[in-house]
Structure 1
Amino acid sequence: MVRFKWSIAMSSRTYKTSYYNFYIPVPEKDCYLLYNSRTNGLVEMKPEEARQLIRWSKLDEVPSGELRCFGQDAVDSLIESSFIVNSRLDEKELIHKRIVGQRRASYRNASFELTITPTLSCNMGCPYCFEGPKPYRNFMNEETIDDIVQFMEREIQHSRIVESFGKIRVTWYGGEPLLRPEVIERLSSKILVLQEKYEIEYEANCVTNGLLLTPENWAILERARVSSVQVTIDGYKDTHDTLRPLLPMYGSDDQGNYDKILDNLSALSQSAPVRVAIRINCDKNIMKHIDLFFDDLETRGIWPQRREQFSMYLAHKTLPPDGLPVDEISDYYSSREFGKQVDQFSLLMLDRYNRWAEKNRKQRARIRMNLPKPAAFLCGSASLPYSIVLDSAGYVHQCWEHVNHNTTRAHHISEPYDLQHPRRSLFVHWDKFMQNPMCRDCKILPVCNMACPHLDPPDACPDIRWSLPDRLKSQYLMTKDTPEQIQSFEEFDNDLQDTYSLSVKCDEIN
């Protein structure tokens, strides 16, 4: 098949540079990177070409004579990747249509996005926890379990909100959900009956502190078809046990709980159908001793030996509602600092893996050059029609950060399902493009995954708002200076359908 290219001479259109272009100078290599956040396009350019585009970006239209002088092949490529667009195109409106499209799609083939708290009690007393003080001996009873199942079947059969249901996704949350494993088992078994009866796809995961991941509870999670578990470990033993102490009513904490959690993880069968993500709530003190944490993981055979089953990631630790003493606040990373720390952590993981690989005669790994993921503009736990957070008494909340606060309750799950309830409508109808001018005009918006209706910029902005150009440049320089660590720029697949998180991952083997 012959492909006919657009002809400058034959076209009567006028063009402009894309609003979402980033022009990133790389003087070390005498070039520029041109990145477009709307299409996730990324190319390298000569400085004189980039300066021409920068000059055009200040004009309403690209002068047609200058466009012809730029060269047919170059212009074809720039238009194909949307670095240059039709001058009549409203790119911001395209982004808004993407947001509206995501919302409409969520009403056609909906998902039950259920965050369920078997108990609000917790056996740890983490000072930075956003839930605040938690009740003791609190748990979901059989009546509430039945109310949840009846609600789900009623909506599957007679929903007036969505056309159909394509998936049930359950997140077991708390408090500490494994304080009440029997609730997980009983409610899961009943939900799975519905899933099979109505032939709906099913997925479940669990957020736990890991202290109660005993063989018996691992077995319960497997029967509940939990396929992923998130466990928080705040670095090495000294920092973890200080920041995440066991509460006295749940036993003695003389030995700390760090070793117990790692023992529980190492006891997980290698054939178990579950992946474990180790979350590290990152601050400066934790990162000082992170090498010791890697040592312990390797000694116990958790990582990198079982890297297909265990993964790690950094989470940005934010201040709790009541704040902290000034001397403790200094340990926290700003958003800009955290972005750099994520990249440094990825390189540390790569180094640790390759040292282990050489010692054990395994293949070395490289990290991938990655672009940001296209934005999911709707919060999965708050903004979808059936995204529900349920406390242990069966009350509906719209955000899991508020599940321990009675003032955020909307209605009970046994009552008529009401998206227009005053405590829910803000989340369900939230549109950051229309409601926040700062978001609407932000060039990061197409890849901004800050989708929280109750947080406002700039305080809530993700780190890539400030760090994206530097991080792309840093990865590019790695492809030139240390190609043994990262795939080359020429190997990089610039297909929008094959983009990943900006945090590089140690999972590509030479």
Structure 2
Amino acid sequence: IMDKDFIKELHKGGFLIDDNVNEIDTLRYLMFKDRFDRKSFNLTIAPTIDCNFRCIYCYEKDKLENSYMNKETENNLIKLIKEKSSNIDSLNISWYGGEPLLAIDTISSLSESMMSICKDNNIPYNASMVTNGYLLDRATCEKLNKYNVSSIQITLDGNEATHDKRRFLIGGKPTYKKIIENLVACKDILPKIALRINVDNNNKELIKELVDDLRKNQLLDVVHPYLGHVRNDDNCYNDNLCLKNNDYAKLEYNFQNNILNQGINNNPLQFLPRRITSYCGADSISSHIVDSKGDLYRCWNDIGNKQKIVGNINNSELNINEALTDYILFDATENVECRNCKFLPLCMGGCPIKGKEKNCSYVKYMINSYIKDIYKNLKNEIS
């Protein structure tokens, strides 16, 4: 006979459910509830789609152009935020590009206006940035701190030689040393730095060398390395160089285990899979991508693709087209294989950029290993 308190806890945690509960309908309800929630307003802003890099796997490399946000678009963006300000609980900004730091004046101007609106309406303001890090000198870092940029994603791709073959300036000049120098020079004032390591078959063996270099430069206490999966989105790269999902999942698992063992990260529970309702901002009605011309998109992978435009900030109307509905109405439960998959609550069909295609989450391949490791860590803490 099982312990009644234990059964109660299993029920509370969702491990046991009543026979009359339809789990698929529950998932769909929670998915659409969050998808159409308007309490927060989330904007990814690309103040320019110009870039000083020419990375070999960049999905934007054929769409980049010397385009910077003008005052009309800035003003209309601020007008939209003012209109939203009376009905939202928070404003969340992600600076993107191109390379956003090429447009630092626009970032400064927009930030001051947005922060002022939030202050007047008692709305929390949060900002983050994706940058290649080449222009992140100390003066720029101080500006970003002033404008509440609390987290920054920067990418390094292995050791110096490998990185410089993959992520170089226009004309081919190297970038690795400059990025490391910037991180060292700003170490005491850096916001949270998520250090992305884009991996494929060409550099998967060189991750350790990068981590060693970060340690040598005493950066591991301020940067948080993690892996990114290089994929052939929009035919931007070579399929043969890209890792298969299950191979990437194993690589990521081994990487996370290594950084835990080295004491770089001491929170194994962060790898515990959790139920999600929506995959990202692309399938959320309260999230928008705005490029330098004011064009609106659902996903930042789509920036520059004219067929994926869902509106423009300068006319304030959304186009009800496939580019919008393919994301907003994406429902993994309509896929028979996803519907019957025990991992659906952890995945919800994966990245919606693939539409109705099955796009399994990496957690599917290594979940048993993660749970066993978490159990071991918790057991050691208790004992």
TM over 0.5: yes
Inter-CA distance 84–118: structure 2 relative to 1 (3 Å threshold): closer
Q: What residue in structure 1 maps to residue 255 of structure 2?
A: 345
Residue from 365, 377, 380 that aligns with 1:466: 365
How far apart in 2 are the matches of 1:265 and 1:413?
35
Tell me, what secondary structure is at the counterpart of 2:109?
helix
* 1:173 aligned residue: 96
How many angstroms apart in 2 are the aligned matches of 1:474 and 1:457? Answer: 33
Change (3 A) 1:302 1:273: closer
Superposition deviation, residue 112 in structure 1: 1.7
Name the TM-score, length of structure 2 as normaliser. Answer: 0.90
After superposition, the Cα gap between the structure-2 partners of 1:149 and 1:82, relative to the gap in structure 1 and judged at 3 Å, is closer
Structure 1's 187 and 412: CA in aligned 2 closer, same or farther, altered over 3 A?
same
Query: Within 1, Cα distance between the matches of 2:136 and 2:332?
Result: 39
**Which residue pairs with 2:325 in the alignment?**
425
CA contact (8 A) 2:78 2:114 kept: yes
Question: C-alpha separation between the residues in 2 aligned to 1:169 and 1:286?
Answer: 34
The one of 274, 277, 291 equivalent to 1:373 is 274
What residue identity is the alignment partner of 1:99? Answer: M
Kindly indicate whether residue 169 of structure 2 is the aligned counterpart of residue 268 of structure 1: no
For the pair 1:290 / 2:189, whether they are aligned, the reply is: no
Decide which structure has greater helix share. Answer: 2
State the TM-score, normalizing by the size of structure 1.
0.69
Instruction: Give distance in 2, aligned partners of 1:404 and 1:100.
Output: 28
Do residues 209 (structure 1) and 132 (structure 2) align?
yes
Give the Cα separation in 1 of the matches to 2:90 and 2:3. Answer: 50
| 1:383 maps to 2:296 | no
SS of residue matched to 1:280: strand
Quote the Cα distance in structure 2 between the aligned partners of 1:369 and 1:165.
Answer: 29
Q: Once the 2 structures are TM-superposed, how far is the Cα of residue 353 of structure 1 from its aligned partner?
A: 3.6
* Pairing of 1:224-373 with structure 2 (within 5 A): 224-248=147-171, 253=173, 256-270=174-188, 272=189, 274-303=191-220, 307=221, 309-322=222-235, 324-325=237-238, 329=240, 331-353=241-263, 367-368=268-269, 370-373=271-274
| Deviation readout 1:22-47 (Å, 9 max, x if unpaired) | xxxxxxxxxxxxxxxxxxxxxxxxxx
Identical aligned residues as a percent? 27
RMSD: 2.7
> Is residue 92 from structure 1 mapped to residue 32 from structure 2 by the alignment?
no
Partner deviation per Cα, 1:194-235 (whole Å, 9 max, x = no partner): 111222110001100111101221122122211110001111
Task: Give per-residue Cα distances to partners, 1:152-192, cap 9 Å, x unaligned.
Answer: 213335xxxxxx20111111100111111111111111111
SS in 2 for 1:154: helix
Gapped runs of 5+ residues in structure 2?
A: none
The answer to whether the 8 Å contact 1:117/1:177 transfers is yes
**Higher alpha-carbon Rg:** 1
Q: Secondary structure at the match of 2:56?
A: coil
> Which amino acid is the alignment partner of residue 438 of structure 1?
E
Measured after TM superposition, the shift of residue 421 of structure 1 is 4.8
The answer on whether the counterparts of 2:59 and 2:236 sit within 8 Å (CA) in structure 1 is no
- Alignment partner of 2:51 out of 122, 142, 145: 122
> Separation in 1 of the partners of 2:43 and 2:237?
32
CA–CA distance in structure 1, aligned partners of residues 194 and 95 of structure 2:
15
* Count of aligned positions: 383
Q: Summarize the Cα distance change of 1:178–1:428 in structure 2 as closer, same or farther, 3 Å threshold.
A: same
Q: Is the Cα–Cα contact under 8 Å of residues 115 and 173 in structure 1 kept in the other structure?
A: yes
Shift of 1:70: 6.0
Query: Distance between the aligned counterparts of 1:416 and 1:142, measured in 2?
Result: 16
